[in-house]
């Protein structure tokens, strides 16, 4: 009886039970393998992300350096242009001052010539005595003082 029971159990119970256990074992093995593949893929993606972030930082630093260089070049250009403009304005002012000075000298020379002619004509009109000459010189000095 025991042997018959054992044979029946083996045929109807142990066979399907072992098949289910085998399926279950294969399913678990497949799940473990898939989990390991997913883990390896996640590590690979994480490494790619780290490399991408590192590359992005390098590119950002390069952009910053280029922007700094460009700003420095622009600053130098602006300073050079401002210096050139200031020099041009200075030269223009010096020329204007020189021109004004020459005009003032010409005007003064013309006044001196006019005054000299006036004095000469007065001298000729009068026959001067020493007292008259001294008086005429004082008058001339007063006129020159008033012109200034």
Q: What is the pLDDT of residue 123?
A: 66
> Looking at the predicted structure, is the pLDDT value of residue 137 above 90?
no
Q: How confident is the model at residue 128 (pLDDT cuts 50, 70, 90)?
A: low
Q: What is the pTM of this model?
A: 0.44
User: Alpha-carbon distance 42 to 36, whole Å?
Assistant: 10
User: Alpha-carbon distance 87 to 84, whole Å?
Assistant: 5
Going from the C-alpha of 91 to that of each of 19, 80, 113, 116, the distances in angstroms are 106, 16, 33, 37
């Amino acid at each position: 009886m025991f042997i018959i029971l054992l044979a029946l159990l083996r045929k109807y119970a142990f066979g399907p039970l072992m098949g289910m256990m085998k399926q279950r074992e294969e399913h678990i093995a497949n799940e473990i393998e898939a989990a390991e593949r997913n883990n390896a893929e996640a590590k690979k993606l994480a490494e790619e992300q780290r490399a991408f972030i590192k590359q992005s930082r390098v590119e950002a630093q390069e952009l910053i350096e280029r922007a700094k260089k460009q700003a420095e070049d622009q600053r130098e250009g602006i300073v050079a242009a401002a210096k050139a403009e200031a020099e041009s304005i200075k030269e223009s002012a010096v020329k204007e001052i020189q021109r004004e000075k020459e005009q003032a000298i010409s005007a003064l020379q013309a006044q001196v010539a006019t005054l000299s002619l006036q004095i000469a004509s007065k001298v000729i009109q009068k026959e001067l005595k020493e007292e008259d000459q001294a008086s005429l010189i004082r008058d001339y000095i007063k006129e020159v003082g008033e012109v200034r």
